[in-house]
Amino acid sequence: MKKFFFLFSILIMTSCNQESIKSYTFYYWRTHLSLNKTEKAALQKATSPYIYTRFFDIEKINGKFQPIAVITKDSTFETDKEIIPVIFIKNDVFYGITMEEINFLAENISTLIKKKQANLKFIEAREIQIDCDWTAGTNKEYFAFLGKLKEFSGKTITCTLRLHQVKNSKLSGIPPVQKVYLMCYATSSPLENTNRNSILDIPTLKNYLKNVDLYPLAMDIALPIYSWGIVTNHVGKHKLINAMSVKDLENVNFRKISETEVEIMKDGFYFGNFLNKGFTLKVEEISEQQLKEVKRFLDKKLPKYSTIYYQLDHRFIDQHQF
């Protein structure tokens, strides 16, 4: 009898451990698809069978809907993961849009996705993800578009979900999709004058997501692993330099202001940009401790979710353990 209870306890513990292990993968957000050794290894190790890959953006230019930054691919981009197309659409596309235009947009996006999948020899995915920062002023039009895209494509349609769309869900509305992907980053603008980390400020995130467990749709989580530098000039204007780390601030021409910020002491080219003496440079990056704290918070709110890290790039994945 004791042996039975021992084995039963082991089975329960094993089951609980398996349930607590959550699958993960990556977003791929570069226009030209390629993978180096580090990126291939990280993707192969990822436990989810998917990779979420931006195919193109949609903007309204001179009154016409235009796909821009459409992806290309080289021979290094090889994976056995299912490649889920992600389409970014600017919110202003949906201001004043007619039902006829919604139909046109949905049909043409569906067609272009299929063409790119065929040209790049991707197997047709079962899902299309739309990334749009919709608002209370565009939700009806955006939601109608999501419905029409499902009709034209015959695919499962999912979409991204931003923090303010959770906190203000009554105003923002609930999209007509099977699943949303919660973007747990961009907690503020990097162009604001603030001491907070604009990529991820955990008190801000917790405030926005205090009722996330009440959201009525299935949800997966997108977490940041990217970094950047914020340059501020003499008149307070800002510019971003992608993929910087605190180590990059070690330079004899920089005067240290804090652990993450320096003042430029000599005019020159730094990180591909000409920076003047007197400019300041602040690095924002994400620590393992920050990611763990977000996961602990979400584990209490959402017992079941997968994680997508933004984004698959050797400059970021080298800094993290997955």
User: What digits encode the pLDDT tens for the residues 81-100?
Assistant: 999 999 999 999 999 999 99
Q: Which position has the token pair 């300041």?
A: 280
The pLDDT assigned to 8 comes to 40
Q: Which position has the token pair 């039975």?
A: 4
Whether the upstream peptide bond of residue 44 has omega within 30° of 0, thus cis, is no
The pLDDT assigned to 16 comes to 42
Residues 232-249 as b or e (16 or more Cβ within 10 Å = b): beeeeeeeebeebbeebb
| Cα–Cα distance measured from residue 201 to residue 47, given in angstroms and rounded to the nearest whole number | 27
Cβ burial, residue 222 (10 Å; 0-12/13-18/19+): buried
Domains and CATH numbers, the chain: 23-226+286-317 (3.20.20.80), 232-275 (no CATH)
Residues 53-63 as b or e (16 or more Cβ within 10 Å = b): bbbbbbebeee
Residue type, 173: G
Rounded to 5 degrees, φ, ψ at 143 are -65, -35
Alpha helices in the chain (DSSP H): 2-20, 37-45, 99-119, 139-153, 163-167, 169-172, 202-208, 288-301, 314-317
Contacts of 207 (CB under 8 A, 6+ apart): 167
CA geometry: angle at 231 spanning 226 and 233, to 5°? 165
Q: How far is CA 309 from CA 25, 95, 275, 292, in A?
A: 6, 31, 31, 13
The residue count for the chain: 322
The pLDDT mean for the chain works out to 93
Neighbours of 154 (CB within 10 A): 10
Reduced to 3 states, what is the DSSP secondary structure of residue 219? Answer: strand
The pLDDT assigned to 195 comes to 87
Closest CA to 50 of 26, 74, 18: 26
Q: How far is CA 10 from CA 4, 15, 17, in A?
A: 10, 9, 11
| Cα–Cα distance measured from residue 133 to residue 129, given in angstroms and rounded to the nearest whole number | 13
As given in the structure block, the two tokens for residue 265 are: 């002491």
| Cα–Cα distance measured from residue 270 to residue 268, given in angstroms and rounded to the nearest whole number | 6
**Regions of the chain where pLDDT drops below 70:** 1-21
The pLDDT assigned to 7 comes to 41
